[in-house]
Amino acid sequence: MLKTKVSYVVVSEEDDGQRVDNFLINKMKGMPRTRVYRLLRKGEVRVNKKRAEPSYRLQAGDSVRLPPVHLPEKGVQAAPSRQTESLLADRILFEDEHLLIINKPSGMSVHAGSTVRVGVIEALKHMYPKLPNLELAHRLDSETSGCLVLAKKKRILRELHTLLREGKMTKVYWALTKGHWKRSELHVDLPLHKDYRDGGKHVVEVNRAGKESQTIFKVIKEFEDASLVEARLLTGRTHQIRVHAAHQQHPIAGDDRYGDAEFNKLARQRGLKRMFLHARSIDFTLPSLNQRITVEAPLDIELERGLAGFGSD
């Protein structure tokens, strides 16, 4: 491990508009994300001599204080297996000179961490060595499959972040949930608070002190004891769909963190071996190119089997 010294970085025009947490993750390569967020919470990272929230967007000319930390010695970046490369190559939904959109597989983290050797972004950077600025535009939970957008250029990344921040990117998810929904339950407007527990793990809860969070659910198909629903995010909070669905007493099948143990057991008996949450489609327009992008990710075979297990009618 290498011990760094206190340093100060002036934000360039290239990084203008970037969230400070993403900026730090890029500057402190190899450091677990949980540690980065801990540094921010404790105020060890300062922007213009003041504490900064993870969501703070840097401006060109900002001075960022980087505290002394232990970082792993630089070595050869862990390479993805050929199987992983082949899997991701087969799941590309859209690609041009500006964007890459994949159907992220369930069970694969979007980035490496203390317990993950290679994530989606590390694998794709290895597959695209001539694209040094390839970056995630947003994230998906490890267990969630579906549309994941990456930008090939920093200018496009900033544009995507602006669309997300202004609610101009439509993301639609499909989820298999417990029971049948009432019309009054479909629009969920409940604030969410992220609570960090020992070890850096976080749990998201409905809490008045949390951030505004809205999800619109729509029933696609009803089964005897479950419903396939569409979920549209009006805000983009961590675990938002999972927590909102569980709070409405309609937890997602296979959700081990917020779900219902008996319903999860029933889902496994009917052939569902993973959480049924899938980023079904994404729709947005890049203003600088006047280009509309609409992409849909097909359901994985595991999810098709799960639906079949609950009955096709």
Strand partners, 294: 283
In the chain, the largest separation of any two C-alpha atoms, in whole Å, equals 63
Residue given tokens 């989820």 in the structure block: 175
C-alpha torsion sign, points 274, 280, 284, 286 = positive
The dihedrals phi and psi of 164, each to the nearest 5 degrees, come to: -65, -45
In this structure, are residues 213 and 192 in contact, taking their beta carbons and an 8 Å threshold?
yes
Containing H/E element for 127? Answer: helix 120-127
| Length reported for the chain | 313
The CA-atom distances, in angstroms, between 273 and each of 50, 269, 303 are 46, 9, 9
d(CA 209, CA 141): 24
Catalytic residue among 141, 255, 260, 300: 141
Which secondary structure element, helix H or strand E, spans residue 302, and what is its range?
A: helix 301-310
Strand partners, 189: 214
Q: If 0-12 CB within 10 Å is exposed, 13-18 middle and 19+ buried, where does residue 114 land?
A: exposed
Identity of the amino acid at 262: E
Rg of the chain, C-alpha, whole Å: 20
Do the Cβ atoms of 263 and 69 come closer than 8 Å? Answer: no
Give CA 6 to chain center in angstroms: 31
Residue 141 catalytic?
Answer: yes
Q: Give bridge partners of residue 252 from the DSSP assignment.
A: 177
Cβ-based neighbour number of residue 301 at 10 Å: 8
Q: Which residues are identified as catalytic?
A: 141
